[in-house]
Each structure stands twice: as structure tokens, then as C-alpha cells.
Amino acid sequence: MLQLVKNKITLTVVLGDLTEFDGECIVNPANTYLVMGGGVARAIRDKGGSEIESEARRYAPIPIGHAIVTSAGKLKCRFVIHAPTVHAPGGKSSAENVYKATKASLEKAREARIKLIAYPLMGAGVGGLSPEESVRSMVRVFEELGEGLNVYLYVTNEEVLKRVIKELTTLGWVPK
């Protein structure tokens, strides 16, 4: 775990499993239909229970740039924010989609008075973006809207962790 700071915003980068986050909320980089069939979404559904998907699907479809909040089922956190980064299940994402999804999720967190939130690398993995592309789009939003929030970023392996930290330091984030 490494804490980095920029402009009074703290970002904690964690090597681990997002579904183990013991805070208020995690973010699901969803598809617009809110089908939780692969990647991070599936991991959330598998660990938290199918009720998360059932609750989310009641709002579907939602466009990229919007987000919804559901309960977290059996997860340690209280809520899941579902923010689409792709149109269809298994689809490809883009830096702009990740920016819009991250922005929508932070706006939804503020509405729900959520202060402790954890993200995966949005749009990476199934979405096809590199860790660097993902983190660049995400931190643009963190820098714009993240003040006062406690933001965690989960990565799944050591190599990705190194790449993300390198990108963040290139973007001006410094260890706390």
C-alpha cells in the first residue's frame, strides 16, 4: 500500500482484491446494461452475491457518463457504485469513457455522502486500456473532484502496481 498526494488529495494505491475493501463503497466499471458477467463486475457479483446484479439491473440501461448506487450484498463495504465504461458486456473502453465513468461515480459518491471509496483500474482488463491509460483518465477526475474524499485504487499484480506508481509520479503525485 502506498499513499500519494497531489493538490491536497490523497490516493492510496493497494495491491490486492477490490472485493475485500473494508470501507464505504467500491466502484464497478460496468457495461450500460449492468450485466455483471465478466472482469471486476463478475468478481463483485461472485463474492457479494447475485442480489447486487439484480438490484443494479432494475436501473438498466444507463448511459456512459451516469452511475447508480446499489447495496453491496455480502461484501465488506456498504455500497457499490456502478459506472459504465463500455456499452455492451465484454466491449472495449476508451480514455474518454473512463473519464466519464469515474466522474459520474465520484459525483454519485458525493450525492450519497460517501467519503471512503475504492476503484479498480477502470476500463483496463476486459475494457482493453493499459494501466497507464486508465490511471491517467481516472486521476484527471480525482484532481477535479476528489478533494475531501479518501480514494483507494486497487491493482491486481506487482507489475501493474509498479506501472501505475510510475505513471502517477510522472503526473506529479508524490509519496505522502
Q: How do residues 10-31 score in pLDDT, each as one tens digit?
A: 999 999 999 999 999 999 999 9
- Tell me the whole-structure pTM to 2 decimals: 0.97
Residue 129 contacts residue 94 (beta carbons within 8 Å): yes
Provide the grid cell at 165. 506508481
All domains of the chain, ordered by start, with CATH? 2-175 (3.40.220.10)
At what angle are helices 158-170 and 131-145 packed, to 10 degrees?
50
Model pLDDT, residue 18:
98
How do residues 33-47 score in pLDDT, each as one tens digit? 999 999 999 999 999
Low-confidence ranges of the chain (pLDDT < 50): none
Distance (Å, whole) CA 85 – CA 127? 8
Q: Which amino acid is present at 110?
A: R
pLDDT at residue 148 in the model: 87
